[in-house]
Amino acid sequence: MSLQSPARPPAARVVLLTGPSGSGKSSLAARTGLPVLNLDDFYKEATDPGLPQLPDGGGADWDSPLSWDAGAATDAIDALCHGGRSTVPVYDIAASARVGASVLETGGAPLFIAEGIFAADVITHCRDAGLLADALCLCGSPVTTFRRRLLRDLREGRKPAPYLVRRGLRLLRAERSVVARQSALGAHPCAGPEALARISAARTAKPVAAGAASTVPSCGGEPGAAP
C-alpha cells in the first residue's frame, strides 16, 4: 500500500473582515497594505430570479446573504490561497450588475484581506479548509455607522436617495442584530485599532483550526473608532 504525500499548505491565508455596511471595512483593509478581495463584487445581478425581496415591496433585499454568490466568493478565496491569483468580477452597485472582470494577485504575500458584509458567511469554509488566519467584525456606534454609510452611498450614487435613507434607517435599527449574527458565525467583534493589531499578529500566526470558536466580547467601541 502506497503512502499518500501530505497536502501542500496554502501559499497564503485569508483574514475575513466583516461588519455592518458603513463600518469602515474598506478603509481599514486599505490601511493594512495587504492585497484586498472585495467581496461585494460577488453580489448577484438584479436580473437574477432568486434575489430575495423586501417584505414591504421595496425591491431586492441587498442586505440578505441570499443576494450574494458565496460559492463564487469561496472559489476566489481558494484560488488566491493556493495559487496566488484569481479572476474576479467587477460589480457596479448603482447598476446592480457585473460590468467586467479583473485579475487579483497576492504578489507572494502570505496574507490577504477578504472584506464585505457577508464575509462571516464563509468563515466555516475557510476554517475547515485550513485557509483562515482570522475573522473580524468591525463595530462601533450605530449612529456613526448610519451617517458614514449614508454620506458614502449618496456621494457614490449607489441607489436613489429615498431608497438609501429608508435602507439606512432600517440598518440603523438592525445593526446590533447584524453584529450578533456575524459574531455567532465566528467573527471577532472589535473596533479598528484592535482589528489592525490582530491582522498584524496574523502575519506570523498559525492557521485557525477547524472547529475553533471565536471569543465574543461585547462590542463597546467608541463612536467612530472603526475607521
| Tens digit of each residue's pLDDT (9 = 90 or more) over 5-30 | 446 789 999 999 999 988 899 999 99
Q: What distance lies between CA 39 and its chain's CA centroid?
A: 6
**Position 10, amino acid:** P
The pLDDT of residue 132 is above 60: yes
Query: The domain spanning residue 134 has which CATH number?
Result: 3.40.50.300
Is the residue at 227 inside a domain?
Answer: no
Is the residue at 44 inside a domain?
Answer: yes
Return the SS3 of 165: helix
Q: How far apart are CA 98 and CA 22, in angstroms?
A: 22
Is the residue at 211 inside a domain?
Answer: no
Cell of 215: 471569543
Is the residue at 210 inside a domain?
Answer: no
Number of domains in the chain: 1
Is the residue at 219 inside a domain?
Answer: no
Q: How far apart are CA 77 and CA 102, in angstroms?
A: 14
Q: Which range of residues forms the domain containing residue 196?
A: 13-202
pLDDT per residue as tens digits for the range 42-64: 999 999 998 999 887 778 888 89
**Confidence at residue 2, expressed as pLDDT on a 0 to 100 scale:** 43
Q: How far apart are CA 64 and CA 81, in angstroms?
A: 27
Mean pLDDT of the chain: 86
Is the residue at 2 inside a domain?
Answer: no
Is the residue at 166 inside a domain?
Answer: yes
Is the residue at 185 inside a domain?
Answer: yes
Q: How far apart are CA 168 and CA 164, in angstroms?
A: 6
